[in-house]
């Protein structure tokens, strides 16, 4: 290797430096690759849970007791099926975009889109989870218990998915 070689022995192009001071020594492309890997792991968890709930909901319609559901319970059921389908579609959207932009050096766009899709999927899944709890309680024990259970699930989602992360984010920014 001569001194005129544009790349160092590590293979890294030093002309493209780290664009952030965050304790990591990575190029913007390396950061995008890392962020994409982390995003995929989160999407896998979300997709698995959504698929299980979707399977449960689809099986419910073919149970003999389904015929005994009243109109309100059927509407709630249909809302839940729609939320499950929307959640699955939104959670898979980053993968579809990645396929469309594969090998086009657009990883940062894919990551930004994936982030927005994941946040949107979390919102739809939160409605799905609260709704499934309400549906099950409605069918098993009735209206008041369903409202209490759905309220409890809603509070849990708000606290664990929104309030605590925002507090920790604020504390992290203060440090």
pLDDT (tens digit per residue) in 122-175: 999 999 999 999 999 999 999 899 999 999 999 999 999 999 999 999 987 777
Evaluated on CA atoms 131, 134, 139, 142, the torsion sign reads negative
Residue 33 · residue 107 · CB < 8 Å = yes
Domain range summary for the chain, segments of one domain joined by +: 28-174
pLDDT (tens digit per residue) in 12-48: 444 455 555 666 788 888 888 898 889 888 988 888 8
* pTM, to two decimals: 0.78
Return mean pLDDT, the chain: 86
What per-residue confidence (pLDDT) applies to 136?
94
3 state SS of 133: helix
Residue 161 · residue 125 · CB < 8 Å = no
């Amino acid at each position: 290797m001569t001194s005129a070689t544009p790349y160092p022995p590590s293979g890294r192009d030093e002309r493209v430096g780290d664009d952030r001071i965050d304790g990591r020594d990575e190029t913007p492309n390396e950061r995008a690759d890392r962020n994409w890997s982390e995003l995929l792991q989160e999407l896998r968890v979300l997709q698995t849970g959504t698929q299980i709930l979707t399977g449960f909901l689809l099986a419910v319609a073919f149970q003999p007791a389904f015929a005994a559901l009243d109109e309100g319970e059927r509407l709630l059921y249909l809302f839940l099926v729609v939320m499950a389908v929307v959640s699955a579609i939104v959670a898979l959207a980053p993968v579809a975009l990645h396929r469309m932009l594969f090998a086009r050096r657009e990883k940062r766009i894919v990551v930004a889109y994936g982030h927005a899709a994941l946040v949107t999927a979390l919102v739809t899944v939160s409605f799905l989870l609260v709704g499934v709890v309400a549906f099950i309680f409605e069918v098993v024990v009735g209206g008041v218990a369903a409202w209490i259970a759905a309220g409890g699930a809603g509070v849990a989602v708000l606290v664990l998915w929104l309030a605590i992360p925002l507090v920790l984010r604020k504390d992290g920014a203060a440090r």
